[in-house]
């Protein structure tokens, strides 16, 4: 285990629901740490794990000191609130092995349990043709990272490079690779990787909540979904129902999960279309201000805000019911 600056001992990751947190910025684009604390504690209290500096967190827009402080402060807030068992995955991927490794070391010191690393996108054309370079990138980072490393496969953010199951299985032979997040939505790929890598503590997670049931049926054991910023309890509820249905072979539980999946699938698609600005607009509309995005991202348009208002009502009502049941302040009507 890794000792952090907060005295936290990193632990092997759990399966389940993880949320890539939006990073709140003030009007001058500085990080709003008061809003950050509110957001961290609400999501941790919902039962979601935290992914800090994922795509939704605008990791590409953050400096090295900001990356460290976001993890460090989150770990501090969790300890103060009695939520120290909440796990943190830190996004550490950058354009080079050298800087990515440095970010992994910083994340470990700050209190992360694991790192999630995306393939560099700037030289995507060259990387796509060089399978050795792709493998070397991840395995060299894993060699030097003091915390386990997840492989983040997100073709849309790395010039279209889509790691296939053969690559992922080969990379996953490294003992410090603890899993993969598949934001390619390939259930077949997930099934092949999960079947090939069966060691304890290895996870295959979807990047979309709209395939929680089919993904888990195929061998996935969790999800990292941006919609968790808005409806975290709903995603946790769906995950738990699905896991119970699989573990207990309970057809009734599966039917219940299917009804929740319909709600989640619609909301997940709406928030995907709305993007990071839309997620921040939804947070402000139903929970608390999450500030602006860093340029060049633009604020959510009137059309996006109207879509959110019209299309998220069913999911927000379901989330409200779960919040009231948990005796926490529900989303605004």
**Choosing from 8, 152, 189, 243, which is the catalytic residue?**
152
CA dihedral 283, 315, 84, 54 (to 10 degrees): -60
C-alpha 37/C-alpha 42 separation (Å) is 9
- Which of 90, 105, 70 is closest to 13 using CA atoms? 90
Q: In whole angstroms, give the CA distance from residue 238 to residue 154.
A: 24
Kindly report the number of other CB atoms within 10 A of residue 261's CB atom: 21
Task: Please indicate whether residue 239 is annotated as part of the active site.
Answer: no
Cα separation of 247 and 142, whole Å? 32
Active site residue 8: no
Question: Would you say 89 is a known binding-site residue?
Answer: no
N-terminal to C-terminal alpha carbon distance within the chain:
44
Helix (H, G, I), strand (E, B) or coil at 49: strand
Count Cβ atoms within 10 A of the Cβ of residue 256 and give its class: 0-12 exposed, 13-18 middle, 19 or more buried. middle
**181, 189, 243, 280: the active-site residue:** 181
User: Would you list which residues are annotated within the binding site?
Assistant: 224
Q: Which residues are catalytic?
A: 152, 181
User: Would you list which residues are annotated within the binding site for pyruvate?
Assistant: 224
């Amino acid at each position: 285990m890794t000792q952090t600056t907060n005295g936290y001992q990193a632990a092997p990751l759990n399966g389940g629901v993880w949320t890539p947190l939006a990073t709140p910025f003030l009007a001058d684009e500085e990080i709003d740490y008061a809003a950050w604390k509110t957001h961290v504690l609400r999501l941790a209290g919902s039962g979601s794990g935290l992914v800090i500096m994922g795509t939704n967190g605008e990791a590409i827009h953050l400096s090295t000191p900001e990356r460290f402080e976001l993890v460090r402060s989150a770990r501090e807030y969790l300890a103060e609130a009695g939520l120290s068992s909440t796990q943190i995955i830190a996004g550490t991927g950058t354009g080079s092995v050298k800087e990515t490794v440095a970010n992994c070391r910083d994340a470990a010191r700050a209190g992360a349990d694991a790192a999630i690393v995306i393939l560099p996108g700037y030289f995507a054309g060259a990387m796509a043709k060089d399978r050795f370079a792709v493998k070397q990138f991840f395995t060299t980072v894993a060699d030097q990272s003091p915390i386990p490393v997840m492989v983040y496969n997100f073709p849309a953010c790395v010039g279209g490079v889509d790691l296939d199951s053969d690559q992922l299985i080969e990379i996953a032979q490294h003992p410090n690779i603890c899993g993969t997040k598949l934001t390619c939505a390939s259930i077949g790929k997930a099934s092949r990787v999960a079947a090939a890598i069966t060691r304890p503590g290895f996870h295959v997670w979807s990047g979309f909540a709209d395939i929680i049931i089919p993904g888990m049926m195929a061998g996935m054991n969790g999800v990292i979904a941006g919609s968790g910023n808005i409806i975290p309890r709903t995603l946790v509820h769906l995950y738990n129902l699905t896991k119970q249905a699989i573990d207990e072979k309970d057809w009734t539980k599966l039917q219940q999960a299917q009804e929740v999946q319909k709600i989640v699938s619609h909301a997940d698609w709406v928030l995907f279309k709305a993007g990071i600005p839309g997620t921040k607009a939804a947070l402000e509309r139903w929970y608390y201000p999450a500030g602006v995005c860093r340029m060049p991202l633009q604020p959510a348009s009137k059309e996006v805000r109207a879509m959110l208002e019209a299309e998220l009502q069913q999911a927000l009502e379901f989330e409200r019911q779960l919040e009231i049941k948990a005796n926490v302040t529900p989303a605004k009507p």
